[in-house]
Copies of this chain bind each other. A is one copy, B any other.
């Protein structure tokens, strides 16, 4: 930590800051510049406290040196983490496809889509039973009935299940049906939910908040790891910017940054990022080229009748083509695609 004093700071103000640092367990190192004093504070802190130094007289700013995340960082673990869900490995060499409808709407709808995405190569079925909706008048999901349909789809197809949990009170229930708990973008800083989900011991897919900085996203993951749950996947799904031609702006740079600064796997959701199914394929190719470990894709057999997010859902045929288009990119970055051999032999 560096404390930059004002040009007009008096000597006793500098002394007061040094005193405060010493009280807090730091060793202060004063640098007398030509225009002002700067103080370096040396010392390792286990717990980051507000230092209060910013409001001491004469202090201009406090510059932190150390990143606030610990357990999620490459410093803590320098090999890539692999999240294991049964026989599916996320963060390994094989690209993972999570596909399915935005919302579980009926048994027939879910089983139909599940069968089709399975055939295309998806390893994991996505589908919301509890839906966070901007309007209280929108469809809120089938809740428990939806969870049971997901369970049935797993039994019939062997696909693993990822589904969102919205409320700390429902973590136990959702965890009893799901293989992976999804924390949605709106809940990225719902800390009670992060803790409860962390404690469930289940793998967690953590979506980045619409306006969350890269650092806040890693800190949200830190909440889960701090509950001794290391099975966390980061999911980039677009951030909110001034640009309105897409629903959100996919932050493609977040992928290589996350891979450089953290050991956690990175999943990309091009459908929410763009809000436009036609952009799903090019964004998927870009994501894999940039180093993503998997993709989350909305697939609906009748997008025009979907109860939510139809415009960003692919038909099963388009999903199939998406995988075909992603395959050579995966190959170009030395990653594999599920069942690629079988498909090639068709």
Contacts and interface: CB of A to CB of B under 8 A. Distances in A.
A285 B292 CA distance: 12
Count of chain copies: 4
Interface string A4-16: 1001000000000
Interface stretch (A119-127, A152-160, A309-317): A309-317
Interface string A296-307: 000000111111
A111 interface: no
Contacts of A35: 44, 66
A137 B48 contact: yes
Nearest to A300: B55
A252 B287 CA distance: 10
Contacts of A288: 289
A246 B240 contact: no
A245 interface: yes
B244 A241 contact: no
A325 to B, nearest CB: 9
Nearest to A40: B31
B55 A303 contact: yes
B277 A255 contact: no
A-B CB proximity, top 10 nearest: A211-B211, A328-B332, A289-B289, A31-B40, A256-B282, A52-B304, A286-B286, A54-B311, A167-B192, A285-B289
Given A2-B63, A34-B42, A136-B226, 16 more contacts: A2-B40, A48-B138, A52-B303, A54-B304, A55-B303, A55-B304, A135-B219, A136-B222, A190-B190, A214-B243, A249-B249, A255-B282, A256-B283, A283-B290, A328-B331, A329-B332
Interface of A: 2, 4, 7, 20, 29, 31-36, 38, 40, 42-44, 46-50, 52-56, 63, 65-66, 68, 70, 75, 132-139, 166-170, 186-187, 189-192, 209-211, 213-216, 219, 222-223, 226, 239-246, 249-253, 255-257, 260, 273-274, 277-279, 282-283, 285-291, 302-311, 313, 328-329, 331-333
26 contacts: A2-B2, A36-B65, A38-B65, A49-B138, A49-B139, A49-B307, A50-B307, A52-B310, A54-B304, A55-B306, A55-B313, A134-B189, A166-B191, A167-B192, A169-B192, A170-B192, A186-B190, A187-B190, A239-B242, A243-B251, A246-B257, A249-B251, A250-B253, A252-B286, A289-B329, A331-B332
